[in-house]
Amino acid sequence: MSKLKISNQTSTSAEQLSLSAEADLVTGSIAQQAAEWFFRLQAPDVSPMERKDWEHWCAADTRHALAWQRAMRIGAKLDSLPSQLAITTLTRHPDANRRLALKTLALLIVSGSAGLQTWRSEPVRRVMAAYHTATGERRSIILADGTRVQLNTASAIDIVFDDKKRLLKLQAGEILIETAPDAVRSDHAAYRPFMVETAQGVLRALGTRFVVRQESEHTRLAVLEGAVEVRPSSAAESPFIVQAGWQTRFTSGRAAQVDVLDRHVDGWSHGVLYANAMRLDQFIAELGRYRPGILRCDSAVADLRISGVFQLDNTDPVLNSLSEALPVRLIYRTRYWVTILAN
């Protein structure tokens, strides 16, 4: 390959190549190298010798220069993202989070700026959050004010506490919250409200124990104790209050009807899934939240009903028991690709 001199501004004749040509030239391994250099050069302790090595790497191959140009373009776009996804934050995240950032940036370098949506996806938001759980994992944390938060499978939260508010941002999944009195502010006038922000709106706890679940199109709320004020983000109507013993779901524009609380709504916090004449397709969808891979239910058996109490820490025995309780059979492509069919 021809040699190419490159400066910090990445101003080279290679910029004349089309984006499609770049995609053909930049391989995965080169993109990985460019991503590693990108993050290394963001570090405050980068040495002059390392910068020299980077310049040599860029000049060694035209494809290196092309990969670097793309990394710079993507980096500029990333700096406009929310703080937990921005480049300046990613460089401070250690180990697993930084490895994910490297892998994702390399993917974007290969796929182009169209792949930037990857950074906005739920899996990336989840792993970059302050607290998160993997598929099948549950976790309990105590916040600075004494509030207890339990995270269900594949869930993520960020915490923003300041002089005026206590804010929990639900990035993905489901949480059970037991709020504590504000330990910082003792005078009622300066009391900081405890709020939960979801994609569809904001909840304000009123001395409460409640469950919040983020779904693709709406937020689910179930109030076990106290009350919760609901404020959909785009609603024209006034906020409304859900009392203990009731549940609802809401979009950014409106709330659905308030229903009587499902008394097992927090069963997952004890590692249990309760089913009472539940449709099989709904049961499989719920069980699939706790199991990595693909779990599918054929439409021919979707409306079969199932009841029972099922342990979530090991889903294999639950699946195996289905063929004993229902006229179905399980087809395993792999351990993590299972389809339920009619027997």
- Domain CATH for 285: 3.55.50.30
pLDDT at 185: 55
Q: Which class for 324: exposed (0-12), middle (13-18), buried (19 or more C-beta within 10 A)?
A: exposed
Query: Number of folded domains in the chain?
Result: 3
Q: What percent of the chain has pLDDT over 70?
A: 78
Do the Cβ atoms of 230 and 242 come closer than 8 Å? yes
Q: Which residue has the higher pLDDT, 2 or 139?
A: 139
Q: Say how far apart CA 210 and CA 266 lie, in whole Å.
A: 9
In a domain, 265, yes or no: no
pLDDT at 112: 59
> Tell me: the pLDDT tens digits for 296-336?
999 999 999 999 999 999 999 999 999 999 999 999 998 88
Side-chain-side CA neighbours of 248 within 13 Å: the count stands at 20
Which of 128, 159, 177 is at the close of a domain? 128
What is the pLDDT confidence band of residue 207, given thresholds at 50, 70 and 90? confident
Which of 105, 128, 151 is at the close of a domain? 128
Structural domain of residue 119, as residue ranges? 13-128
Q: Which residue has the higher pLDDT, 304 or 164?
A: 304
My answer on whether 123 and 135 are in the same domain is: no
Q: Which of 137, 139, 166, 132 is nearest to 153 (CA)?
A: 137
What is the pLDDT confidence band of residue 124, given thresholds at 50, 70 and 90? low
Q: What is the DSSP letter of 6?
A: -
